Each structure stands twice: as structure tokens, then as C-alpha cells.
Amino acid sequence: MELIQTLVEDYGRARPGQLAARFGVSQASVTKTVRRLERDGFVVAPPYRGVTLTQAGERLAASVRARHRLVREFLEALGVSSHQAESDSEGIEHHVSEETLAAMRRYLEGSGNSG
């Protein structure tokens, strides 16, 4: 969702080939995922027109982006390099609980490191 949002912001739409190249997967894998996201109401993907986000998709992408930013800032506050924090936050953001996110937020607010 984050990457779709970024590509839409940059190019007006996300093309399956762009998504496949960025994720290092086949276009068939992207097409399958896009169909699922479309079925769930997060994207619109008319044939040969690229992928755009619905309002629900925009909300979800914004939420994912905020989680990603919070995890990255937390890792950086612990002394992890910016590059490594960015890389690690890509995986952590998808698995971390709301309770843990809240604790990370409190830590950053308490230490004066929030961005």
C-alpha cells in the first residue's frame, strides 16, 4: 500500500511492472495481489490503466506509512543507523502490535526524539 501510494503521488498511478520491479517479484504475483486489494476495496485497477487507491486504500496506506515512520524513528532513537533502521522497519511495521507501537510512541515522546 505504501509503494502504491508513493507511485501514485509521483506518477499519478502505479503500474504493475513498477511494483514487480520494486519488490523483485513477477508481474503475475503483483496482479494476484492487486486483484485481492481491489476485491477488498483498497485499489482500483482498470485494465491497462495502472493502479490507484480508493479512499479506504488511502487511509490504509497513510496508517501503514505512519507505523513505518514510528518504528524507524524508534530504532534510530535506540542508536540504529538510519539506513539499517529504514531496512528493519520495513518488516517490523507489519508484525508489531498496537500495544508495542503505543509504547514506542510514549518512549519517543518522553525522550524528546519524536519527529
- Asked whether residue 97 is domain-assigned, the answer is yes
- Burial of residue 106 (CB within 10 Å: 0-12, 13-18, 19+) is exposed
97: domain CATH number is 1.10.60.10
Question: Residue range 17-24: average pLDDT?
Answer: 92
Same domain? 47 vs 73 = no
For the chain, give the number of residues.
115
Same domain? 39 vs 71 = no
- Domain span at 101: 66-111
Same domain? 49 vs 71 = no
DSSP letter, residue 97: -
Contact between 54 and 43 under an 8 Å Cβ cutoff? The reply is: yes
pLDDT(21) > 90: yes
Query: What is residue 14's three-state secondary structure?
Result: strand
Digit-coded pLDDT (tens) for 89-115: 988 988 999 999 999 999 999 875 544
Question: Residue range 35-54: average pLDDT?
Answer: 94
What's the structural domain count of the chain? Answer: 2
pLDDT(35) > 60: yes
- Asked whether residue 60 is domain-assigned, the answer is no
- If one counts every other C-beta atom within 10 angstroms of the C-beta of residue 14, the result is 25
Same domain? 32 vs 9 = yes
- Asked whether residue 91 is domain-assigned, the answer is yes
- Asked whether residue 22 is domain-assigned, the answer is yes
- Asked whether residue 61 is domain-assigned, the answer is no
Beta-bridge partners for 43: 53
- The pLDDT-based confidence of 38 (bands split at 50, 70, 90) is very high
- Asked whether residue 6 is domain-assigned, the answer is yes
Using alpha carbons only, give the angle 94, 97, 99 rounded to the nearest 5 degrees: 150
16: domain CATH number is 1.10.10.10
Q: What integer pLDDT is reported at residue 112 of this predicted model?
A: 55
How high does pLDDT run on average in the chain?
A: 92
- Asked whether residue 9 is domain-assigned, the answer is yes
Return the percentage of the chain with pLDDT > 90, whole number. Answer: 83
